[in-house]
Amino acid sequence: MTDAPEVRLELAAREHRPRGELAGAFVIAGGPPDGTRSVEFSVLWRTSGKGTEDIGVVHYRAWKADDGTLAALPNPSTFAVPLPPTPWSYDGTLVKVHWLARLRVRWELLGRTREVVEDAEFTLAPAARS
């Protein structure tokens, strides 16, 4: 296979409450390509803007060829990840806090490691007061 695999990452909802649950599914069209080393799914937050950029991973799961877990990867695969109370999504002038789910597929082709990454952003914030 010479082309990157088509990957889709879908969230059941884009807005979530602290301590809620992020649910969704991902699919690798046609299955993982020949030479796949790993499929990784993570939920994380990151900052952008002024100063040091930070990242926090709240969920990580990997299916790897070398430990046999890749063969057991359901395709499509569903997930339900509990979310923490903080940090909340924030879209400030100097700093922003982004939440996202990430799917990464790594495979070997012609002696080189390739990867494709699919991100799906969502918002983590308390309910608005009326």
**29-66 pLDDT tens trace:** 999 988 999 999 999 999 999 888 999 999 999 999 99
What is the domain count for the chain?
Answer: 1
Decide if 32 contacts 5 (C-beta within 8 A).
yes
Q: Is residue 23 part of a domain?
A: yes
Q: Is residue 114 part of a domain?
A: yes
Give the burial string for 85-113 (b: 16+ CB within 10 Å, else e).
eeeebeeeeeeebbbbbbbbbbbeeeeee
Q: Is residue 96 part of a domain?
A: yes
Banded pLDDT at 1 (limits 50, 70, 90):
very low
Q: Is residue 129 part of a domain?
A: no
Indicate the pTM of the whole model. Answer: 0.91
DSSP 38: E
Q: Is residue 18 part of a domain?
A: yes
Q: Is residue 2 part of a domain?
A: no
Q: Is residue 62 part of a domain?
A: yes
Per-residue tokens: 98: 């982004």
Domain that holds residue 60: 7-124
CATH code of the domain containing 68: 2.60.40.640
